[in-house]
Amino acid sequence: SFQRDLQALGLDKRVLVMTISEFGRRTKENGSSGTDHGTSAPLFLFGPQVQSGVHGNMPNFEEVDRRGDFFYEYHFRQVYASILNEWFGVSQETLNLVFPTQPRLMSLLNVKNQLSAAELAEVDFTGDGQLDFNDFLQFAQAFGSEEPQFDLDKDGRVGFGDFLKFASAFGRR
């Protein structure tokens, strides 16, 4: 229903939904006929930009650690880093600062650049040939200024209209 509403509004390609639980479950039933919190849990992504299918193998109920926890195949930080990189364009350099363990990135999305070379050049504030989080940081620092490079709507001030133009380009990258 949510996805159909987004599609009807023409916003479905601009929204990525990720669900995650802060705790997994263990394999053995406990004294109250339930299971205790554990280390592994499914994580779901949905939206038209998601590579469909299951990533990873089904858990093996025969192979658990001494506490009864599954061995996870992907750490949640690996998924977070991959989404930050693919969806938000956060560079590997920035990810290394946020995630000191430097998780191996996964390919989870089908994100295609839909900007023309001229559109990209207008918003590629770092000049590295791509529109990414570093360009957003440059733009955010110029917000409220009169710097012509960031005045995308040409009204003499870097403001909300410029942000809307930047956000539109970022959503089509």
| pLDDT > 90 fraction of the chain, expressed in percent and rounded | 44
Top pLDDT among 114 and 37 is at 37
pLDDT at 157 over 90: yes
Top pLDDT among 23 and 7 is at 7
User: Which tokens belong to 74?
Assistant: 């992907």
- List pLDDT tens digits, range 47-102: 998 998 988 888 888 899 998 888 888 888 999 999 998 888 888 888 999 998 88
How many whole angstroms separate alpha carbon 15 and alpha carbon 5? 11
The residue-averaged pLDDT of 125-153 equals: 93
- Collapse the DSSP code of 50 into the 3-class scheme (helix H, G, I; strand E, B; otherwise coil) and give the result: strand
pLDDT band at 142 (very low <50, low <70, confident <90, very high): very high
How many whole angstroms separate alpha carbon 75 and alpha carbon 41? 10
Please, which residues bridge with residue 45 across strands? 18
How many whole angstroms separate alpha carbon 165 and alpha carbon 80? 27
First-last CA distance in the chain: 26
How many whole angstroms separate alpha carbon 143 and alpha carbon 15? 25
Burial of 90 (0-12, 13-18, 19+ CB in 10 A): buried
Helix (H) or strand (E) holding 37: strand 35-38
- Are residues 166 and 139 in contact, defined by beta-carbon separation less than 8 angstroms? yes
pLDDT at 25 over 90: no
Return the pLDDT at 50.
Answer: 94
Q: Is the pTM of this model over 0.75?
A: no
Return the pLDDT at 113.
Answer: 63
